[in-house]
Structure 1
Amino acid sequence: MFTREGILLETGTNELEIVEFTIGNNRFGINVIKVREIISVIPTTKVPFSHPHIEGVISLRDEVIPVVNLAKVLHLPEQYEETSEKYIIAEFNMLKIAFHVGNIAQIHRISWEKIEQPNDLAKNLENLITGIIHFDEQMILLPDFEKIIFNINPNTGISKDRIQSLDARDRSTKTILIAEDSSLLRELLKETLEKVGYVNIEICHDGQEALDKLIAFSEKGNVTEHVQLVITDIEMPKMDGHHLTKRIKENDKLKKLPVIIFSSLITNDLRHKGEKVGANAQVSKPEVSELVKYVDQFIL
């Protein structure tokens, strides 16, 4: 049995560790920070009328955990060797999920700078691949696990219903910079903030773009004349949110900026990572009302 204790990296280094696994002849990876443990396949209990990608549920230390058939999700043949197939027990969005995969290969340490976003031709129809890593003349694909779960159960993500439940307010002159690599989430965050009056939004696709923009603002004078608050995801290519936060808080011209980390990876076990790099607040997706509460607190 695999557990993640003892292998997590120092916070803010802009590195991650990837658990490589296979489905048939295809190589995939998942960020170690999402993985609670890896276990051998155990019997599942079928759930009537469940989503076709849900194999059933398992009981693990008195917790009932749904099992997602990743081969079905990714439209791949279910080619497993019974002696090696595994369940990856993952935790994000305040949920625990088991992903049924093939063999567990190894753990790779890599910089976020080395992860490429798939271009439009490389993306599959459902945009379920969020990154590509080149290894040994082959590629490891990084599935978008949050989107996979959102497609199965939309209540796990930021939804139109969550946004509509927020009270509309008067327009604010404050500017918020968002660093988020998901185009869907960028639009939903923008819509959320506009609904509550924050209509001046600077959008960045990753941490590096966000840092470059903030430094450019600081060279024109006081950065807070241009941006009053930063909201960042954690998992992003080129530069992750922990490293972005660390770079902001170590820069004398930027460190006064409040930074809110808004990520599916905010758990009790991992909250210390954001604290260590100086985040002013951390909110777990999809709790947009809590996010708005912190935005109001820091910039009103």
Structure 2
Amino acid sequence: MSGILDSVNQRTQLVGQNRLELLLFRLNSRQRFGINVFKVREVLQCPPLTSIPKLNALVRGVAHIRGQTISVIDLAMATGGKPIEDLQNGFIVIAEYNRSVQGFLVGSVERIINTNWDAIMPPPKGAGSASYLTAVTEVEGELIEILDVEKILNEISPLNTDVSKEITDNVDVGTNTEKIIFIADDSSVARNQVKKALSTLGLEIEMAKNGLEALNRLKEIASETGDVTDRVALIVSDIEMPEMDGYTLTAEIKNTPELHRLQVILHTSLSGVFNQAMVSKVGADDFIAKFHPDELAGAVQKWLLTDLKQ
């Protein structure tokens, strides 16, 4: 176990085309879950937790770790299960999502596996909108569930998706009002957050659940027009997505003649350990850390106007 805990920080810098590493853990049962190591800052035995009045019921307390106070969320409770009772033998996965650091209380931590995004599949259709899964994969004949952490965090502390009046009063997208803004994100919560923020620009929105679905749809549009930019103004894409991640999607767009003029904004919760070199390598036009509606709307407007000048 100590080898796993010691190696997490050393391996969080991994970014490869359509590759990822998953830290496997359990909650209260035999079911195993996974979290992208790239989002993990540290894993440690659960320290003493301090209870604070009026905390959300899913927050078991706060921990003081390396000079920082971190809220600790019980992932078992957050996904509708029973609370993790044995805190002394539990672990905290400290991760960074959406510009903030959280601690996720889990029952046990197992190991790190190396896999490809094309081995990560969307959750079963029968899971329904209430499911907390964003993807699944198979390891040694066993299903590994990847949780929609953005949905969990939004239920605990909903993000503001309203674009400020200063931005909306000065919206200028030129002649691009007849074009589509394409959104690719595997989290239904994140897709709707982006859609709500960008709807203030008065543009048509089309969405995809992952990079492969987005790429196929963009190629379909391009086959009708000859160049995708005749219909699509730009794409706002998450990085972590099943079947095809945002880096690979960007590279495919930039390497496909009928798609390569499309502006790509990578919009991701991978904020703290973001690899600028990788974004440049695949040819993305911009990167924005989730989630600030004014920054997102401002960036989209900027690239729409830039496109008009080209």
Q: What TM-score comes out, normalization by structure 2 length?
A: 0.85
- Measure, in 1, the Cα distance between the counterparts of 2:285 and 2:32: 37
Q: Does 1:144 align with 2:145?
A: no
Q: Percent identity?
A: 33
> Does structure 2 retain, via aligned residues, the 8 Å contact 1:208–1:244?
yes
Query: What is the CA deviation profile of residues 52-111 of structure 1, one whole-angstrom value per residue up to 9, with x for unaligned ones?
Result: 111111112211111111122223344666675211000110111111112211112222
Count residues in correspondence: 294
C-alpha displacement of 1:274: 2.3
Match of 1:44 in 2: 49
Counterpart of 1:286, as a letter, is: F
Q: Name the CA shift for 1:5/1:216 in 2 (closer, same or farther; >3 Å).
A: same
Match of 1:90 in 2: 95
> Does structure 1 retain, via aligned residues, the 8 Å contact 2:11–2:37?
no
> Does structure 1 retain, via aligned residues, the 8 Å contact 2:150–2:190?
no
Q: Name the CA shift for 1:189/1:63 in 2 (closer, same or farther; >3 Å).
A: same
- Measure, in 1, the Cα distance between the counterparts of 2:94 and 2:193: 28
Match of 2:308 in 1: none
Counterpart of 1:167, as a letter, is: T
Structure with the higher helix share, 1 or 2: 2
1:127-206 map, 5 Å:
127-154=131-158, 157-159=159-161, 161-162=162-163, 166-167=167-168, 169=171, 172-198=177-203, 200-206=204-210
- Measure, in 2, the Cα distance between the counterparts of 1:221 and 1:77: 54
Q: What TM-score comes out, normalization by structure 1 length?
A: 0.87
- Measure, in 2, the Cα distance between the counterparts of 1:281 and 1:36: 24
Counterpart of 2:76, as a letter, is: A
Q: Which moved more, 1:276-285 or 1:110-119?
A: 110-119
- CA RMSD for the aligned pairs? 2.5
Counterpart of 2:285, as a letter, is: N
Match of 2:34 among 29, 38, 63: 29
Q: Which runs of 5+ in 1 are unaligned?
A: none
Q: Which runs of 5+ in 2 are unaligned?
A: 306-310
> Does structure 1 retain, via aligned residues, the 8 Å contact 2:38–2:273?
no
3-state secondary structure, aligned to 1:5 = helix
